[in-house]
Amino acid sequence: MAPPSSFKLNTGASIPAVGLGTWQANPGEVGKAVEHALNWNTHQTDVAAGLAQTLEDLQTDYLDLYLVHWPVRLVPNETSDLLPVNPDGTRSVDRSWDQQDTWRQMEEVYRSGKARAIGVSNWSVPYLEHLKKTWTVTPAVNQVELHPFNPQHKLKEWCDSHNILLEAYCPLGSTGAPLLEDEQIASIAKKNGISPATVLISYQVNRGCVVLPKSVTANRIEQNLKVVELSKEDMKVLDGMAASGKQKRVNTPAWGHDLGFEDWYGPVPN
């Protein structure tokens, strides 16, 4: 049975199983509009204004999907308006801000029709449980770091039970995790006659997650669209890699406090 080419959101809309990741790419390679589309999330106090700016930058009337990218609100200071830091190197975070307030505003822009679906990114189960207490619109997606070294099985189980689709960023492990050189992954690739990257991309689609491999070149984008069915044996190996001692998270901004992930507590340096 061939892997799906798309998944259904809880809004009823379809989303491609393989998307395009642009995180850490040269802004000139992906366009200034994408850069501006992300910048609003720093402050979170006025979602409607942020969305209006995004729509203007992208020259469109609506977004298919609008996300809160971290469950934190940053406080601008003399170091930066976008990514302010404290003297100790941690991000300047407003710890009194309740993300339920941000989500209420997200629900308003969803009802306005300017965002066809809304979701979150980098949200753990405890943070989602808090949001659930007041949400009237369930997040359509939760975009998080996912790969065999950081599969987040418990988070996926929770999101599946609430009809929230997981999106995988850093599916190849980025530059901080040697997934492409891992012997187990290489063995699966050789057995199936595919590249290690295709194994990692296919792994996410086979487990029911949208996958966002990063690429800014036409050839790589085309290669990343290849998805194959993996055997139950291969999936079992990939599912168990983190528990065997290979657990590694590559995206750890220095927020300075616990975000509720079991493998990542307190301030973690970049």
Residues in the annotated binding site for substrate: 69
Residue type at 50 in one-letter notation: G
Q: Which is nearest to 174 in space by CA: 134, 212, 231?
A: 212
Q: Kindly state the DSSP code that residue 210 receives in the 8-state scheme.
A: E
Whole-number Å distance between alpha carbons of 240 and 249: 15
Strand partners, 93: 74
Is the distance from CB of 177 to CB of 200 less than 8 angstroms? no
Whole-number Å distance between alpha carbons of 86 and 80: 10
The rounded Cα 24 to chain-centroid distance in angstroms is 13
Residue type at 253 in one-letter notation: P
Count CB atoms within 10 A of the CB of residue 258. 12
Strand partners, 143: 121, 167
HSE-CB at 255 with a 13 A cutoff on CA atoms is 19
Assign 224 to helix, strand or coil: helix
Q: Which residues are annotated as a binding site?
A: 69
